[in-house]
Structure 1
Amino acid sequence: MRQQRGRAVPVNGRSVYVEESGTGPDHVVFEAGGGMGRTCWDSVRPLLLDRARLVAYDRAGFGRSGRTEAGLSIDDMAADLVAMVEAVVPGRFVLVAHSMGGLVARRAAEALGPRLRGLLLLDPTAETAPVYDTFDRTVTQVDRSLAMLQALVRFRWFARLTSGNVRRVFPADAYETMLAEDFVPAGIAQTRKEIKAVAEAIPRFRAAPPAPPTCPTVLRSASRPQPGRARHHAGLVEHQRRWVEALPDGRFERADSGHFIQAEQPGVVADRVRELLDASRPDTGTGEEAR
């Protein structure tokens, strides 16, 4: 398995595990999608080590972070992201988020404000898309399947069998770490909580969306649909496009990729991060003025 040292960071009465790498005055923070943690960025981070300080972490309940008894809402996760940034990152930074992590990043952006130099969203959840009209019923069905999976992943051969979609696209050492930390009963239990958190957030985000980010924002949308979403894929893409193109400085891109864009197109993701860093003014001091 991969070996990289990290540290526990206290956030809002919880603890998250943070890995820091790279060099330079710039900073980049990564927010994973649902059911995943810091390891899902292992294809991208090596490409940026000489460009910026990189921060990837496990949300509370995942990977090496502290466990949680109750489920956390999207707002709770956003508050943890903000608290982690306040503890770890000086000055301004670029935020990169995948899938459900896009909801977390957008909510956190309200509090982070001028500290954001740029926002890169990879196939983010688009709460206005029609597929989410009945998402509460979908979650009930998915949760039943995950409950069975939670009981069975204690058998390692079964965990490998059911995680083939991840094994095929991520580096071998990253996958082995995911298998040991995330595809385990506790990890699946946390995934179930996060899916329910998304279902609870959808109507709230629709009724009162987060304030639009004012920083340069790039959204890359997967061209290949997730399993079971082929019929709704065009609608998802269209709502992603509408959201980002309505921003003061937003750009929509199609990625020749499945949902895990960071694993299938790490070079393009790294290029977009560099562009966002280059397009914004670098920090001139400790960055305390931006806090």
Structure 2
Amino acid sequence: MRQEAGRAVQVNGRTLYVEESGSGTDRVVFEAGGGMGRTCWDPVVALLADRARLIGYDRAGFGRSGRTATRLSIDDLAADLVALVETVVPGGFVLVAHSMGGLVARRAVNRLGPRLRGLLLLDPAAESAPVYDTFDRTAVKVDRSLGVTQALFRSRLLARLASGELRRLFPADTYAAMLAEDFVPAGIAQTRKEIKAVAEAIPRFRAEPPAPPTCPTILLSAARPQKGRGRHHAALTEHRRRWVGSLPDGRFETVDSGHLIQAERPGIVAERVQNLLDGTGRAGRTSAPGA
């Protein structure tokens, strides 16, 4: 499935690698979570290829995009998303974002304006949840662990062993691309920068929340907690529910999945994208979760 050659796009003095696929007049833009790039959307892209024009990209420093000498903030990443959309996406579109990418998307919403036809968030960070009260300390611990990983990933064998769970979740050619582009020392170094960017963004999001999206918004929350985070899972889910419930047109669903919903339940993700494109993904419409 890994196929088309992408292209380099210049935004804000940085080089982003973009892949466009699919067909049709509708557009969908994908924003990956931390530590991942455009390839993490492959299972969903395969299901939407005949329904819309699909745009995936690697954030600066990841995958095939240009490296960054400095650490970019969530605001910087949101500015890159906006500039990318202005460059490659004509007209309206649906934005899909995962995990940390939800922070990037929410910061970009106000600048994207009425062109944003719908927003789909997969297991996004919810800065109001108690688990983020001490995220600055968590980020330090994660950075230490990633420092070890960064050194180990100089060995392709160790990189393959450490990423075995992703090998199970993604198609073989997608995983091969991830192994070559993301699970390398440079990719881990960029992940460490983004973890620090999230830690810096949390207090800012709490003090000055981004403008809420006014477009139809669907939030899919994973029913199965990440390893070691079971204690915080219920509270995180509830804060997501409250946030999307506060929107003028928000809809919340739990999905029988782990954190990587796009890999475990790509059919649900593709269906919700189609709902937003069709204008049927509005609050008040319900569907059975997680099938």
Q: State whether TM-score is above 0.5.
A: yes
Name the SS of the counterpart of 1:42 in structure 2: helix
1:93 aligns with 2:84: no
Equivalent AA in structure 1 for residue 162 of structure 2: T
Equivalent AA in structure 2 for residue 237 of structure 1: T
The CA distance in 2 between the partners of 1:228 and 1:209, in whole Å, is 28
- The answer for the alignment partner of 1:168 in structure 2 is 168
Name the SS of the counterpart of 1:141 in structure 2: helix
- The answer for the alignment partner of 2:213 in structure 1 is 213
The CA distance in 1 between the partners of 2:208 and 2:168, in whole Å, is 38
- Stretches of 4+ aligned residues off by more than 3 angstroms: none
1:227 aligns with 2:227: yes
**Partners of 2:118 and 2:276 within 8 A in 1:** yes
**1:225-283 residue CA offsets vs partner (Å, 9 max, x unmatched):** 11221110001100010000100000000000000000001011000000000008xxx
1:77-92, aligned counterparts within 5 Å? 77-92=77-92
1:111-190, aligned counterparts within 5 Å? 111-190=111-190
The CA distance in 1 between the partners of 2:182 and 2:240, in whole Å, is 28
**1:61-111 residue CA offsets vs partner (Å, 9 max, x unmatched):** 000000001010000000000000000000000000000000000011110
1:256-275, aligned counterparts within 5 Å? 256-275=256-275
- The answer for the alignment partner of 1:30 in structure 2 is 30
Identity percentage of aligned residues: 77
1:255 aligns with 2:255: yes
- The answer for the alignment partner of 1:104 in structure 2 is 104
Question: 1:165, CA displacement in angstroms?
Answer: 2.1
- The answer for the alignment partner of 2:202 in structure 1 is 202
Equivalent AA in structure 2 for residue 5 of structure 1: A
Name the SS of the counterpart of 1:97 in structure 2: strand
The CA distance in 2 between the partners of 1:176 and 1:125, in whole Å, is 27
Q: CA RMSD in A?
A: 0.9
Q: What stretches of structure 2 of length at least 5 have no aligned partner?
A: 281-291
Q: What stretches of structure 1 of length at least 5 have no aligned partner?
A: 281-291
Name the SS of the counterpart of 2:120 in structure 1: strand
Count how many residue pairs are aligned between Structure 1 and Structure 2: 280
Question: 1:166, CA displacement in angstroms?
Answer: 1.4
Question: 1:3, CA displacement in angstroms?
Answer: 3.3
1:72 aligns with 2:72: yes
With CA pairs under 8 Å and 6+ residues apart, which has the higher RCO, 1 or 2?
1
Question: 1:157, CA displacement in angstroms?
Answer: 1.0
Question: 1:4, CA displacement in angstroms?
Answer: 2.1
TM-score normalised according to structure 2 size: 0.95
Equivalent AA in structure 2 for residue 67 of structure 1: R
**Partners of 2:4 and 2:21 within 8 A in 1:** no
Question: 1:167, CA displacement in angstroms?
Answer: 1.4
TM-score normalised according to structure 1 size: 0.95
Question: 1:50, CA displacement in angstroms?
Answer: 1.0
1:236-247, aligned counterparts within 5 Å? 236-247=236-247
Question: 1:60, CA displacement in angstroms?
Answer: 0.3
